[in-house]
Amino acid sequence: MNNNNTQQTILEAIQEVAPEIELDDIDMDEDIREECDLDSMDFLNYLIALKKSTGISIAEGDYTLVNTFNKMLNYLSERLSEKSSS
């Protein structure tokens, strides 16, 4: 999965809980919950959607590593490349 695909995957997961959000609406380096108006239940469902599409499970201990769009992109890219090389 290249960076563009991962970006699309993240966007789709966001849109499952916030259908009206487009990529242009999101500042990539700001808190994703603020950007997309996600409450804690929405955020959880966003992570569950990502797990479904990527197989990667994000525990609460890692939340600070995924709290912006760009951080999520890096996090997933790293985990996905670990996965494919192992």
Partner 1 sequence: MTSTPIDKTQTSVAEFEDITMPSLGADMTEGTLTEWLVKEGEQVNSGDIIAVLETQKGAIDMEVYSSGTIAEILVTPVTEVPVGTVLARLALAEASQKMSPQKSSVSTPILAPTPAVTASDTSTELEKNVVVSEQVKVVDVKVTGVKASPIVRRLAKEQQLNLTGIKGSGPQGAILLNDLAPLLKAKTDTKSEQHKPADKTEQNMRNAIAVAMTKSKQEIPHFYLNLELDLTNAQQWLQQQNQATPPEEHLLLLALLLKALANSLVKYPKLNGFYQGSIFEKNSAFEQANAIHIGNVISLRQGGLVVPAIHDVDKLSVSELMQGLRDITERSRNGHLRSSELMDATITVTNMGERGADSVFGIIYPPQVAILGFGKVREIAKVVNDDVVIAQVLTVSLSADHRVIDGMLAAKFLNYLAKKLQKPERL
Which residue's entry shows tokens 């409450």?
39
When asked if residue 24 is in the footprint of partner 1 (CB under 8 A), the reply is no
Q: How many residues does the structure list for the chain?
A: 86
Show contacts with partner 1 in window 27-86 (CB under 8 A): 37, 39-42, 44-45, 47-48, 51, 57-61
Q: Which stretch binds partner 1 (CB under 8 A): 1-9, 10-18, 67-75, 77-85?
A: 10-18
Strand partners, 31: 68
Residue ranges that bind partner 1, judged by CB under 8 A: 15-20, 37, 39-42, 44-45, 47-48, 51, 57-61
